A and B are shown apart, each in its own frame.
Chain A
Amino acid sequence: MENILGTNKDINNKDINTNSRKTGIKIVAFLCNWCSYAGADAAGTSRLRQPEDIRIIRVPCSGRINPLFVLKAFTQGADGVLVSGCHPNDCHYSEGNFYARRRLEILKEFLPVIGIDKRRFSYQWVSASEGQKWQKVVINFVKRIREIQG
């Protein structure tokens, strides 16, 4: 199947076909309402296949994401946390993601010092039209977490 938003052609079935209940991986994703959530939605409507290990939480803006959200998720047993928002300069509230970028970078560097692998956390910029990018981000991130998990 092919459409304007993307295609499933190059996607390896092995990266997607897992039963998250079996693998036991839990990934929390914080998505901004205006770009990434719509992007993930677009990926869904255009039927791009994605792994099911990801749980999406919608937030108004990536600037809404307190680094403690991420740390709380890790404390409560999440295996990975993904944060996604609008591209810099494209924020719905004009500057939310600029603040987010600074905070999340600090958070990322901070994680190893409390004993959490840096690779378990990532922040990405995905816009509303980038359904295909979202698909790739999710597949690669889930793959990485599975590797760490062993």
Chain B
Amino acid sequence: MQQENSVEKKLKERIRDVFDDFELVIGYSQSKIPLKVNPLFIQRKEEIDDLIFNNLCINNLATYSYFLSNELKGKIGIVLKPCDTRSITQLISEELLNKDRVKSIVVGCAGILDYKKIVKEIGGLKIISADIKDEHIRIDTIDENFTLKAKNFYADKCYTCNIYDNPPYYDEFIENDSKLNIEPRKEYEDLDEFEKLSLEEINSFWDLQFSNCIRCYACRNICPLEVCRDKCIAQLDVPHWQSQKINAVEGKFFQLIRAFHLAGRCTECGECERVCPANIQLLKLMKKINKDVLKLFNYRPGFNLDEKPPLLTFKNVEKNIKEEELI
């Protein structure tokens, strides 16, 4: 068990103050598995004691907002990191969420540790207990003990984050005394590197990646912005977009469906990659479209409540689009 930190205390106090307005508050709670957290759905006031907030809270709780706001009648409060508010902002700007019914309680963030990276580093051994102290992670497995430097194990999105203490949108903001302290990287650095590869290399990369895809649809179900679910065209009979065969071609095509559903909407929370049981690098596809959207239409999803997503609107003269002539 970790000790209660100051931001956690502030968060609990704040939620206790405003709890009567809400029908449900979603937050994080301790998990029995070391280095993981669970989502917590608070309906009674005494459950607030279970609430936690630390640098393991990687889940994007905005995922629950759309479906729960349709099911429940009252107000919903959601504990969010600054990067997660982008998903909420995007949903509101697309009029999928009602601003008055879903309130975001944003907590300043000091970087989030990526469980998958840590497990990879220790070679997939089973973690019995773990402890995080002063930028160091101590991990005990059955045979070995590890001490890792935390700064190498933050989630990919943390390295390009510049909104950790100034979220673009919030209803309540709780400041965190500890701030994100890692070396920033250039945005889309890994993607630029990837795009330099030849087409053959890219093809074989994806073939290898998608040969592991089991079409569990976890990536779709965790995504805060993919609100299609029952109407997903991958599972329709008419028109029959996809067969139910499990192979690399179908797995890849499912991701293409996702990529174009999220075109100009993806807020790059990285949840799809986090939940993927086959460790497929899905976010590359969404990032590529986001990069182009930024270049062509100067639009970043999830930062502005009033701006329309670029593919839902148009201009008579597009300055940045250069059409090719075939004559």
Interface residues of A (CB under 8 A from B): 66-68, 71-72, 75, 88-89, 95, 98-99, 101-103, 105-107, 109-110, 112-117, 122-125, 133, 136-137, 140-141
Q: Is the CB of B288 within 8 A of A140?
A: no
* B323 contacts across to A, CB distance below 8 A: 101, 123, 125
Q: Is the CB of A140 within 8 A of B253?
A: no
* B206 contacts across to A, CB distance below 8 A: 114-115
Given A101-B314, A140-B327, A141-B326, A114 and B321 contact (CB-CB distance below 8 Å): no
Q: Is the CB of B252 within 8 A of A122?
A: no
Q: Is the CB of A140 within 8 A of B326?
A: yes
Q: Is the CB of A115 within 8 A of B321?
A: no
* B199 contacts across to A, CB distance below 8 A: 112, 115-117
Task: State the majority secondary structure of interface residues on A.
Answer: helix
* A107 contacts across to B, CB distance below 8 A: 260
Given A115-B206, A133-B327, A110 and B249 contact (CB-CB distance below 8 Å): no
* Most B CB within 10 A of own CB, among A95, A110, A137: A110
Q: Is the CB of A109 within 8 A of B326?
A: no
- The smallest C-beta distance from B311 to any residue of chain A, in angstroms, reads 6
Interface residues of B (CB under 8 A from A): 194-195, 199-200, 202-203, 205-206, 233, 241, 249, 252-253, 256-257, 259-260, 263-264, 284-285, 288-289, 292-293, 296-297, 310-311, 314-316, 318, 321, 323-324, 326-327
* Most B CB within 10 A of own CB, among A75, A136, A137, A140: A75
* B202 contacts across to A, CB distance below 8 A: 112-115
- Complex Cα distance A106/B311, Å? 9
* B200 contacts across to A, CB distance below 8 A: 115
* Most B CB within 10 A of own CB, among A68, A95, A102, A140: A102
Q: Is the CB of B296 within 8 A of A75?
A: no
Given contacts A109-B288, A113-B284, 5 further A-B contacts (CB under 8 A): A72-B241, A75-B252, A106-B296, A109-B292, A116-B199
- The smallest C-beta distance from B284 to any residue of chain A, in angstroms, reads 7
Given A99-B314, A137-B327, A114 and B296 contact (CB-CB distance below 8 Å): no
Q: What are 24 of the A-B contact pairs (CB < 8 Å)?
A: A71-B260, A72-B241, A75-B253, A98-B316, A99-B311, A101-B323, A102-B296, A102-B314, A103-B263, A105-B318, A106-B264, A106-B289, A106-B293, A107-B260, A109-B288, A110-B288, A112-B195, A113-B202, A113-B284, A114-B285, A115-B199, A124-B326, A125-B323, A137-B327
- Complex Cα distance A133/B327, Å? 7
- Complex Cα distance A43/B322, Å? 27
Report the nearest B residue to A99, measured CB to CB. Answer: B314
* A103 contacts across to B, CB distance below 8 A: 263, 311
- The smallest C-beta distance from A102 to any residue of chain B, in angstroms, reads 6
Q: Is the CB of A88 within 8 A of B316?
A: yes
Q: Is the CB of A106 within 8 A of B263?
A: yes
Report the nearest B residue to A141, measured CB to CB. Answer: B326
Determine which of A95, A110, A136 lies in contact with B289 in the assembled complex, contact meaning CB atoms within 8 Å: A110
* B296 contacts across to A, CB distance below 8 A: 102, 105-106, 109
- The smallest C-beta distance from A51 to any residue of chain B, in angstroms, reads 13
